[in-house]
Chains A and B, each alone.
Chain A
Amino acid sequence: MNLLEISNLDVYYGQVSALRGLSMSIAAGEMVALLGANGAGKTTTLRAISQVVEARSGSILFEGTEVNGKAPYDVVRFGITHLSEGRDLFPSLTVADNLRMGYWVRRKDKKGMKQRADHVMDLFPRLRERSEQAAGTLSGGEQQMLGVARALMPEPKLLIIDELSLGLAPMIVAQLFETLVEVNKTGTTILLVEQFVHMALKHTNRAYVLAKGEVVADGASSDLLKDPSLVQSYLGGAAEAGAAH
Chain B
Amino acid sequence: MDFLSNALTSAVLAIPLFGIYVLFAVGIVVIYRASRVLNLAHGALALVPAYAFFSLAKLGVPLPLAAALGVAGGAVLGVTTEAVVVRRLRRQGPVAQTVGTIAVYGFCVAVAVKVYGSAPLLPPRLLPAGAIQVGSGSLRIAALWMFGIGAVATLASLALFRFTDLGLAMRAAADNRRAAGLMGVNPDRTTTAAWALGGALAGLAGVLVGTYGNIDAFTLGLQVLPAFVAALIGGLESLPGALVGCALVALVQAEIPALATLPVVGEAVSSVGASQLMLMVVAFIVLATRGKRLVASQGRDAGIAAAAVRKRKALSPNAERRRAIFATVLVLALIAFPFMPFVPYSLVGDAILAGYYLLVALSVVLLTGWVGQISLAQAELVGVGAFSAALAVNRLHLPVPLAIAVGATAAAVIALVLGAVALRVRGLYLAIATLVFAWMADSFLFHQDVLGIVGGSAQANVMPIGTPSLIPYFDFNSPTVVYILVLAVAIAVIYAVANIADSRTGRAFLALRGSEVGAASLGINVTRYKLIAFGLSGLIAGIAGSLIVVYQRSVEPGQFDILASLFFLGVAVVGGIESLEGAVLAAIVFAALSELFFRVHALAGFLDITSAGLLLAVLLLYPGGLSAIGPAISERAQALLERLRERRQAAAVEPEADAAAASQAGVTTASVLELAGARVNQEARKRRTARVETDPVLRASEVGVRFGGLQAVKDVSLEVRAGEIVGLIGPNGAGKTTTFNAISGLNTPTGGTVELLGADATRMDVHKRAALGVGRTFQQIQLFPQLTVFENLLVGTHLRNHSGILGHSFALPRAIRAEVAMRREVDHVVDFLNLSHVAQTPVADLPFGVLRIVELGRALVTGPKLMLLDEPASGLDTTESKRFAEVLLHVREELGLSMLLIEHDIATVTSVSDYLYVLDQGAIIAHGLPWEVQADSRVIEAYLGQPVEASA
Contact = CB atoms under 8 A, between A and B. Distances in A.
Nearest to B186: A73
Interface string B152-196: 000000000000010011011001101111111111000000000
Interface in B639-691: 656-658, 660-661, 664
B571 to A, nearest CB: 32
Contacts of A140: 732-733
B943 A169 contact: yes
A17 B175 contact: no
25 contacts: A10-B657, A37-B878, A38-B877, A52-B181, A76-B182, A84-B178, A88-B176, A88-B178, A90-B180, A93-B171, A97-B171, A101-B172, A101-B180, A104-B169, A104-B183, A139-B732, A169-B943, A170-B906, A172-B731, A174-B945, A236-B878, A237-B878, A241-B881, A245-B906, A245-B946
B160 to A, nearest CB: 15
Interface of B: 165, 168-169, 171-172, 175-176, 178-187, 656-658, 660-661, 664, 731-733, 847-849, 874-882, 904-907, 943-946, 948-949, 951-952
A157 interface: no
A45 interface: no
A114 interface: no
B904 A104 contact: no
The winner among B664, B879, B906 for most chain A CB atoms within 10 A is: B879
A88 B179 contact: yes
Contacts of B879: 37, 235-238
Given A89-B175, A241-B905, A241-B952, 4 more contacts: A88-B178, A91-B176, A97-B168, A236-B877
Given A15-B656, A84-B178, A89-B179, A241 B172 contact: no
The winner among A15, A20, A89 for most chain B CB atoms within 10 A is: A15
Contacts of A17: 657-658, 660-661
B876 A38 contact: yes
Contacts of A141: 732
B293 to A, nearest CB: 23
A contacts with B: majority SS: mixed
A139 B178 CA distance: 22
A240 interface: yes
Interface string A15-36: 1110010000000000000000
Given A74-B184, A240-B951, A89 B661 contact: no
Nearest to B945: A171
B779 to A, nearest CB: 10
A168 B732 contact: yes
A169 B918 CA distance: 13
B951 A243 contact: yes
Nearest to A13: B660
B contacts with A: majority SS: helix
A171 B734 CA distance: 14
The winner among B182, B660, B945 for most chain A CB atoms within 10 A is: B182
B176 A195 contact: no
Contact of A107 (B165, B877, B949): B165
A14 to B, nearest CB: 9
A243 B905 CA distance: 12
A100 interface: yes
A130 B657 CA distance: 49
A195 B877 contact: yes
Given A73-B184, A236-B882, A238-B878, A90 B664 contact: no
Contacts, number: 156
A1 interface: no
A150 B180 CA distance: 12
B179 A84 contact: yes
Contact of B183 (A76, A212, A241): A76
Nearest to B880: A38
A186 B169 CA distance: 30
B948 A245 contact: yes
Contacts of A76: 182-184
A105 B657 contact: no
A169 B184 contact: no
A44 interface: no
A225 B133 CA distance: 86
Nearest to B940: A171
Contacts of B660: 15-17
B949 A244 contact: yes
Interface in A191-245: 195, 212, 235-238, 240-241, 243-245
Interface of A: 10, 12, 15-17, 20, 37-39, 50, 52, 71-77, 81-82, 84, 88-93, 97, 100-102, 104-105, 107, 139-141, 150, 167-172, 174, 195, 212, 235-238, 240-241, 243-245
Contacts of B178: 52, 72, 84, 88
A20 B172 CA distance: 35
Contacts of A195: 877-878
Contact of A100 (B168, B658, B664, B849): B168
A82 B87 CA distance: 25
A102 B879 CA distance: 36
Given A72-B182, A93-B171, A240-B951, A38 B904 contact: no
A20 B657 contact: yes
Given A50-B182, A71-B186, A104-B185, A169 B171 contact: no
A100 B167 CA distance: 12
A10 B655 CA distance: 13
B732 A90 contact: no
Contacts of B656: 15
Contact of B661 (A16, A100, A243): A16
Nearest to B669: A38
A235 B878 contact: yes
Nearest to A10: B657
Contacts of B186: 71, 73
A172 B732 CA distance: 10
A17 B660 CA distance: 8
Contacts of B732: 139-141, 167-169, 172
A38 B875 contact: yes
A212 B182 contact: no
Contacts of A171: 731, 943-945
A20 B165 CA distance: 41
A152 B185 CA distance: 17
B849 A90 contact: no
A139 B731 CA distance: 11
The winner among A89, A170, A241 for most chain B CB atoms within 10 A is: A241
A52 B182 CA distance: 8
A169 B849 CA distance: 23
A10 B656 CA distance: 13
Contacts of A88: 176, 178-179, 182
A70 to B, nearest CB: 11
Contacts of B175: 89-93
A77 B182 CA distance: 10
Nearest to A144: B732
A243 to B, nearest CB: 7
Report the 4 A-B pairs with minimum CB-CB distance, sorted nearest first. A236-B879, A38-B877, A171-B945, A169-B731
Nearest to B668: A39
A244 B951 contact: yes
Contact of A102 (B183, B882, B951): B183
B514 to A, nearest CB: 22
Given A97-B168, A101-B183, A104-B185, A243 B949 contact: yes
Contact of B172 (A82, A93, A238, A245): A93
A73 B182 CA distance: 5
B733 A139 contact: yes
Given A91-B175, A237-B878, A38 B184 contact: no
A150 B175 CA distance: 15
A84 B179 CA distance: 8
A110 to B, nearest CB: 10
Contact of B907 (A71, A101, A244): A244
Nearest to A236: B879
Given A52-B182, A243-B949, A90 B172 contact: yes
A38 B881 CA distance: 11
